Structure 1
Amino acid sequence: MQSSEKHMKLELASLDPAFRVKQLANYGAMVDVDPNVPPRRYYRSGLEMVRMANVYLAEGSLENAYILYMKFMTLFLEKIRKHPEYSTVPLDVKSVNQVKLKEVMPKAEKLKQRLFDQYTREHARYKDFEAKRKIAEEARRKQEQEDAKLAQILQADENRQDGSATGPHLMNTDNWAVTPSAPPVDGVLYPDDFAKEPSQAPLNQYKSVPPPIPPKPVQENVISDVFPPLAGGLRTVVVPATLMGRFLTIAASNTAKNIELCGILAGRLEQNQLKITHVIVPKQSGTADSCSTNNEEEIFHYQDQHNLITLGWIHTHPTQTAFLSSVDLHTQCSYQLMMSEAIAIVCAPKYNETGYFALTPDYGMQYIAACRQTGFHPHPNDPPLFYNVTHIRLDSSSPIEMVDLRR
């Protein structure tokens, strides 16, 4: 485990348990409703939100589950009612949502208590850890003081030895004749006192002192099971390597006619990774540079039956390179507003290109969400509105199911 991660765990555990739970609830309340996104899309996204939360809960990722439950409740108990088209939402759609709310609210309350209990245990271990650390630090400080005193004694002894050895050479001893064994007289040192090497007993006595026993290091695993902090980055989207080739096969007849084809990327959440498992090709209409879906209810019904969440979309550019047009940017914005990790895959068979794109989170999303133009229209290129995503992973072993609803 890296030191930065350990430090963050310690910081989290040091916080008051109630404060940590409150932070999660605040994060879950950070939901905004874009009046330009149809409310029906929010209702669809809400169901997928609950599906992901249930997966997180089953996998033991309690914090992520709690945040998603809170987002769902904030969205449909408060925010969605402010949408200008809220009154147009069919009653049957609202009723399904109400059933989910009754299911989610007690789950969130129980989860809140579980998190509080977990944080309380972590905080207790943190306090125990800090007490042991302070004891070890005090022992280390005392040992350093004792070592410093010992060093001073040794240095003083060496200074005395050096001063005694050089003192007699300052005297004239040519005519002295003193019995070698004569002891000092009246405290005055005579030359014969140095006939032998001065005793090293005192110095050896100090040098033979065993080195100080270092304090027992503080155990690093005292709170090693502290729940890791919420991931700050985007979750990985796993893309089956065969997906693009199989989609191009389905699109071949359209490509031959110079007509775009689009599909919905759907899948599941597993171990905090979003895995694309299905490409749903809906009934649609297309041109050489655009395509639009028809009868979205069929898509929703299929996803509900197979417990799938929307992870983005894919479409062809029969005669152009792989990029996002102005219309594509608005389409991608609607997906990315629902899920930050949503991607757009563009296949350009004429140029043998495949692009994996998303709107830039620091500029593109805000710019396109605020743009009210429709159809093809110019957008500035600098700063860039979209980029080649890095949060995807091509997997040659992942299967993909192609679902063609046009048949």
Structure 2
Amino acid sequence: MSKAVNNMGMSIVEPQERIKHLSHYGNLIEVDRNMPVTRYYRSGTEMLRMANVYLNEGNHENAFILYLRYMTLFIEKIRQHPDYPSIKSEVKAINKRIKDEIMPTTEKLRAKLLSHYQREYEQFLANKEAERARELERERQRQKELANREAAGSTVPSLIPANLHVQIDVNNQPTAPDLTLLDQVVYPNDFPTGANRTNLPNSGLLLPTGDTNVDKTANAHATKPIFDRSQKPQYNRSDSLLAGSLRTVNVPGDTMDVFLKLAQANTSKNIETCGVLAGHLAHNQLYITHIITPQQQGTPDSCNTMHEEQIFDVQDQMQLITLGWIHTHPSQTAFLSSVDLHTHMSYQMMMPEAIAIVCAPKYNATGFFILTPHYGLDYIAQCRQTGFHPHPNDPPLFMEAQHIKMDNNSKVKVIDLRR
């Protein structure tokens, strides 16, 4: 059997099941045939960059997932892309690195995680068995006390005071009792106040018996278990790679002001300006640190980057990862046009947390947007139209980003490649 059942009717995932759980997330990557193959090559570079950060920080689960994802992409999935022959030489070098470095590192992580999970699981079972023995002993004591009371002929004491009685008058008619004596009656509290109830975190290890699907969002509510929960094996459910949620993106408070100054010359001519948002990963949060302004061509309602290889060179030199993009709407409000939706799709496909910042100086407005993860992203990925074209508005294709955090204590840096 791969699972044990605790006293709440829940299943505790055993070590091998936990490894399978991680491996499942490691395989969650697909290749869009219409996405430029070079984007996947870049995505792989940034994937390794993040995996190495996780490894150095001791977050072995996330590192394991990203190394697996990297291998899945370049050993298996990238071959499905029609332009695969054009990067065959690069992939050949990547596969050599996988064989020499990444695969051995991943296997060491697998062994380390398995050993750690095994220790946690054994400790959990030992604690549970000890608590079961204590509960049996408490039950024996209760039965013994009950037997002693019965043997002594003890009875349940009356809750009615002895001096509360009904008097009979001379005409044999009952008279009303002295109601002031009711203040002396003690009433038992048969209903718990709820203070002994608690919310159980959705750890990812406690699964409903017979159901292997992990609920990613809901918190379970149940009576607090008797055993020591501090010893229960658990996943870090705040972790997006395991839970499917988005990591927080920290945005320097001056980002919009700095970018609007960069774009001022174009804005005065009613021309859009765009830039790439780049930064780093630390402690499972993403931090925007740079705006990279590439060479570009703009119009009143569009902006196209040029010479992307220059952006990649800068990012490689500074070990930066792509976290989204920023652009102006000189004379319009803050929203994502049909062209913007397709532009952002390429960012969000590579990095689920990638954001699109739209600055609308005429209306003094800023929007922080993402494609809706469960509809808009897939819809735009499958849309083959180019240029400005209509899209349905219901269900919505994009939404305000909920995973950003403004950081007024940090300042954004600029790398302007237009000069």
User: TM-score by structure 1 length?
Assistant: 0.79
Matches for 1:6-405 after TM superposition, within 5 Å: 14-89=12-87, 91=89, 93-101=90-98, 102-150=100-148, 152=150, 156-158=153-155, 218-223=227-232, 228-229=236-237, 230-405=242-417
- How many angstroms does 1:218 deviate by? 4.6
Q: Which amino acid letter does the alignment assign opposite residue 221 of structure 1?
A: S
Q: State the secondary structure of the residue aligned to 1:89.
A: helix
2:74–2:91 CA contact under 8 A, matched in 1: no
Query: Matches of 1:126 and 1:218 in 2, distance apart?
Result: 9
- How many angstroms does 1:151 deviate by? 5.2
- How many angstroms does 1:152 deviate by? 4.3
Query: Matches of 1:345 and 1:153 in 2, distance apart?
Result: 79
- How many angstroms does 1:158 deviate by? 4.1
Q: Which amino acid letter does the alignment assign opposite residue 286 of structure 2?
A: L
RMSD across aligned C-alpha pairs, in angstroms?
Answer: 2.3
Q: Which amino acid letter does the alignment assign opposite residue 125 of structure 1?
A: Q
- How many angstroms does 1:371 deviate by? 0.5
Unaligned runs of 5+ in 1: 1-6, 162-216
Q: For residues 336 and 151 of structure 1, do their structure 2 counterparts lie closer, same or farther at Cα, with a shift above 3 Å needed?
A: farther
Query: Matches of 2:149 and 2:276 in 1, distance apart?
Result: 75
Q: For residues 296 and 138 of structure 1, do their structure 2 counterparts lie closer, same or farther at Cα, with a shift above 3 Å needed?
A: same
Q: For residues 89 and 144 of structure 1, do their structure 2 counterparts lie closer, same or farther at Cα, with a shift above 3 Å needed?
A: same
Query: Matches of 2:157 and 2:282 in 1, distance apart?
Result: 75
Q: State the secondary structure of the residue aligned to 2:154.
A: helix
Q: Identity across aligned pairs (percent)?
A: 53
Query: Matches of 2:156 and 2:373 in 1, distance apart?
Result: 70
2:31–2:81 CA contact under 8 A, matched in 1: yes
Query: Matches of 1:134 and 1:87 in 2, distance apart?
Result: 62
Question: 1:39-95 deviations in whole A, cap 9, x for unaligned?
Answer: 10001000100010111111111111100000000000000011111112273x335
Q: Which residue number in structure 2 is paired with residue 191 of structure 1?
A: none
- How many angstroms does 1:34 deviate by? 0.6
- How many angstroms does 1:148 deviate by? 3.7
Q: Which amino acid letter does the alignment assign opposite residue 31 of structure 1?
A: I
- How many angstroms does 1:237 deviate by? 0.2
Q: Which amino acid letter does the alignment assign opposite residue 395 of structure 2?
A: P
- How many angstroms does 1:337 deviate by? 0.5
Query: Matches of 1:159 and 1:336 in 2, distance apart?
Result: 70
Q: Which amino acid letter does the alignment assign opposite residue 337 of structure 2?
A: S
Question: 1:272-331 deviations in whole A, cap 9, x for unaligned?
Answer: 000001110000101000001000000001000000100000000000000000000001
Question: 1:85-131 deviations in whole A, cap 9, x for unaligned?
Answer: 1112273x335533542321111111111111111111111111111
2:272–2:327 CA contact under 8 A, matched in 1: yes
Query: Matches of 1:314 and 1:49 in 2, distance apart?
Result: 22
User: TM-score by structure 2 length?
Assistant: 0.77
- How many angstroms does 1:15 deviate by? 2.4
1:237–1:273 CA contact under 8 A, matched in 2: yes
Query: Matches of 1:150 and 1:314 in 2, distance apart?
Result: 79
Q: For residues 132 and 350 of structure 1, do their structure 2 counterparts lie closer, same or farther at Cα, with a shift above 3 Å needed?
A: same
1:136–1:218 CA contact under 8 A, matched in 2: no
Q: State the secondary structure of the residue aligned to 1:238.
A: strand
1:43–1:97 CA contact under 8 A, matched in 2: no
2:128–2:227 CA contact under 8 A, matched in 1: no
- How many angstroms does 1:139 deviate by? 2.0
- How many angstroms does 1:145 deviate by? 2.5
Query: Matches of 1:341 and 1:395 in 2, distance apart?
Result: 17
Q: Which amino acid letter does the alignment assign opposite residue 137 of structure 1?
A: E
Question: 1:357-386 deviations in whole A, cap 9, x for unaligned?
Answer: 000011101111111100000001111100
Query: Matches of 2:147 and 2:404 in 1, distance apart?
Result: 61
Greater shift in the superposed pair: 348-357 or 138-147: 138-147
2:368–2:401 CA contact under 8 A, matched in 1: yes
Q: Which amino acid letter does the alignment assign opposite residue 314 of structure 1?
A: I
Looking at CA atoms only, which structure, 1 or 2, has the larger radius of gyration?
Answer: 1
Q: State the secondary structure of the residue aligned to 2:128.
A: helix
